[in-house]
Structure 1
Amino acid sequence: MTFTGIANAPVSFGIFELTAGADFPEPETVLGPLRDAGYDGIDLGPPGWLGRGDVLRQRLRDHGMALAGGWVDLPFTADEAEFASSLAALDDALEIFVAAAEADPSRLPLPTLADSGSDARRANPGGGRHVMLDDAGWARLASNVARVAARIRAVGLEPTFHHHACTHVETPEEIDIFLDRTDVGLTLDSGHLIIGGGDPVEGWRRWSERINHLHVKDVRKDVLADVVRERAGMRAVWERQAFVALGAGDLDLVAFMDAVVADGFGGWLVVEQDVVPSPSDPPGRAAGDQRANREMLRSWVPLD
């Protein structure tokens, strides 16, 4: 296997910032099914959900899992005072990443940075070209990314940057600008690239030399088109279940994975299926979907 590992994410079980305040399941009820399905890593989820320090390290070891990465969004285009105040959250997350790295030094997590976006961008998934950054905005974003990257590298880890829907780094054009202005690697997210108007296979070919992290997710374009037309916002993308199990959406999984494997990518591959749980969901649906998603990757990454 060329990959560091195959991971899944708490967001596939509805555990992420959008659902904060919900009665999240205990980590063991997620880690166990993922390990049994053939995953050997997990993303962080909300900081603290997996535990901290010794609790986190022991929990990962007990399940034979490593921490692959974790979402850290920061207001990279904000003024100095707002940005500086956000760094406390970064430092809190870094303590967790360092603890996880100590549990498995051979498979290090990548703090996964993203821009916090803006109200205008959040209302317009798919790009919202009328609210793109100007040159001063790009200069501020690049400067702040450099500051954060230095902070992460100082603790022995390497950052990655996620182009995310409804942020200022979303479309292929914006990804190009980001890569030109920074030295940070890219998290290529197949689902979010489709939302941003890109093609995952073309994106891999275009940016493969800078990609150091993969999020593999499938998405239904018809659901996205409805959300964009209605200007319903990013929350509707999740709530209307635009993200679906691998093979159920518009991602050309075969072409994408063939390209990734042919180039010998050596980082983490994280399977994600962002969901907002509903009381009407069948029991065990999330775990079943993630077993099926791992099975879909068998051709490229055989199960042990």
Structure 2
Amino acid sequence: MTKLGERLSPDRVKLGVNCTLWWNDDFPSIDAGISFGQAVSEMALAGFQGCSIGHKYPSDPAVLKAALDLRGLQVSEPWTSTYFTIGRMYQKTVDSFEETLAHIRALGGTELVVAEFGASSHLLPIDVFANRPVFTDAQWDALTSGLETLGKIAQSAGMRLSYHHHMGTGVMTRAEVDRLMASTSPELVSLLLDTAHLAFAGDDPLDLARAYADRIGHVHLKSIRPEVVSRVRDEGLSFQRAVELGVFTVPGDGAIDFRPILEVLADADYRGWLVVEAEQDPNIANPLEYAKRARAYLTDVLGW
């Protein structure tokens, strides 16, 4: 075990992997026909302790928990989209969040991840940069007050809420993350650090980690391929096309150096999930191969 691994030891952090290596939940056409059973078996085979929830997973929490328990896996997070910045969606957003919370509690999970998708460009076949929303002050107020409401609901259930900044949304850049953090209570809203989404947006994930080290509640470890980022910007491509072209990849591949980011987390005594991601086309990038590559990289860095 390295000195870094001693500070980010197995009793402090858990290593998870996102099912977006095996299929894409945003774009169902990005799929190689891999079943739920094969995917979670490969996650365990690659050496991970947990995983996110995807659309191919059993909806019955008892069935899902049994399948994960069989493979020694836990749920690292669910995903809930929020829509506080658009009309007549407040109560539907809260109701959806409470349904997700109940589901994750039944699975023994403690983490909740949200992102505001009101007017997002990331699901549409349009330029992901040029057409993303820019929130008005009123929309910012609606978003931050709504997130604090969700944070209180999570807190009352003994769970933690982390906000995921995301390409194509109104909270995409460092400046927007800064505004969100400044406008919400640290006790109610933590930050999900997604290294690749911030780098894709044009900002530095290491600087973000340093700025909010004591507020990071969840981490997605994902790298980027800069040549694809440049093409997306230059040609005005959609988020889906960026994924298909391989804009994302796993730690140990691509342009992001994760060692200093992990050092920052260790210095802040981070405790929680480190979740490997790579929204790649499984027909091109073999999921098990890339999962094992990422796990080998983390073993080299952490020593376990």
Q: Secondary structure at the match of 2:27?
A: helix
The match for 2:155 among 148, 153, 156 is 153
Aligned to 1:167: 169
Structure 1 residues 144-153 or 155-164, which shifts more? 144-153
Q: Distance in 1 between matches of 2:81 and 2:167?
A: 12
Partner of 1:244: 249
In 2, Cα distance between the equivalents of 1:213 and 1:181?
19
Q: How many percent of aligned residue pairs carry the same amino acid?
A: 22
Aligned to 2:216: 211
Q: Is the 8 A contact 1:219 1:251 kept in 2?
A: yes
Structure 1 regions of 5+ residues with no counterpart? Answer: 102-107
Residue 91 of structure 1 is matched in structure 2 by 98
> Contact between 1:218 and 1:246, CA under 8 Å: does it hold in 2?
yes
Superposition RMSD on alpha carbons, in Å?
2.4
Equivalent residue number for residue 60 of structure 1:
68
Residues 91/24 of structure 1: CA separation in 2 closer, same or farther (3 Å cut): farther
Matches of 2:12 and 2:46, distance apart in 1: 17
Q: How far off its partner does 1:36 sit?
A: 2.1
2:16 counterpart residue number? 7
**AA at the equivalent of 1:216:** L
Give, as a single letter, the amino acid of the residue that structure 1 aligns with 2:26: E
Are the counterparts in 1 of residues 86 and 118 from structure 2 also a CA contact under 8 Å?
no
Corresponding residue SS for 1:19: coil
2:121–2:128 contact (8 Å) kept in structure 1: no
- CA distance in structure 1 between the aligned counterparts of 2:158 and 2:95, rounded to whole angstroms: 18
Contact kept? 2:164, 2:193, Cα under 8 Å = yes
Contact 1:56–1:99 under 8 Å retained in 2: no
TM-score by length of 2: 0.87
Q: 1:196 aligns with which of 198, 201, 224?
A: 201
Q: Is the CA contact (8 Å cut-off) linking 2:196 and 2:223 kept in structure 1? A: yes
Deviation (angstroms), 1:205:
0.4
Report the CA distance between 1:241 and its aligned residue. Answer: 1.0
Equivalent of residue 77 in structure 2, options 57, 66, 69: 69
| 1:174 counterpart letter in structure 2 | E
Q: Determine helix, strand or coil for the equivalent of 1:18.
A: coil
1:264 aligns with 2:269: yes
Higher relative contact order (CA 8 A, sep 6+): 2
Q: In the alignment, does 2:230 pair up with 1:225? A: yes
Amino acid at match of 2:295: R
Distance 1:247 1:143, change over 3 A: same
Whole-angstrom distance in 2 between the partners of 1:131 and 1:6: 33
1:175-206 Cα distance to aligned partner (Å, 9 max, x none)? 00000111200000000010122111111101
> 2 CA distance for matches of 1:137 and 1:195?
24
SS at match of 2:100: helix
Verify the 8 A CA contact 1:52 1:99 in the aligned structure 2.
no
The residue correspondences of 1:55-134 to structure 2 (distance < 5 A) are: 55-79=63-87, 81-101=88-108, 108-119=109-120, 123-126=126-129, 128=130, 131-134=133-136
Instruction: Note if 1:30 corresponds to 2:39.
Output: yes
Closer, same or farther: CA 266–300 of 1 in aligned 2, 3 Å: farther
User: In 2, Cα distance between the equivalents of 1:111 and 1:90?
Assistant: 9
Distance 1:125 1:208, change over 3 A: farther
- Contact 2:80–2:114 (8 Å) recurs in 1: yes
Deviations 1:4-49 (A, max 9, x none): 3100011111241321796853322122222122110111123x71
Which segment drifts farther, 175-184 or 251-260? 251-260
Would the aligned equivalents of 2:213 and 2:264 in 1 still touch at CA under 8 Å?
A: no
Distance 1:213 1:153 in 2: 15
Deviation at 1:51, TM superposition (A): 3.8
Contact 1:11 1:275 in 2 (8 A): yes
235-244 or 87-96: which moved more?
87-96
In the alignment, the residues of structure 2 paired with residue 119 and residue 51 of structure 1 have an alpha-carbon distance, to the nearest angstrom, of 26
Q: Is the 8 A contact 1:44 1:50 kept in 2?
A: no
* CA-CA distance at 1:299 after TM superposition: 2.9
Q: Deviations over 1:136-183 (max 9, x none)?
A: 111011111122222333333111110011111110000000001112
Q: CA separation in 2, counterparts of 1:67 and 1:268?
A: 10
Deviation string for 1:60-115 (max 9, x for gaps)?
21111111112211212112x223233443233223201111xxxxxx43111001
For residue 120 of structure 1, report the CA deviation from its aligned partner: 5.2
Name the SS for the 1:159 alignment partner. strand
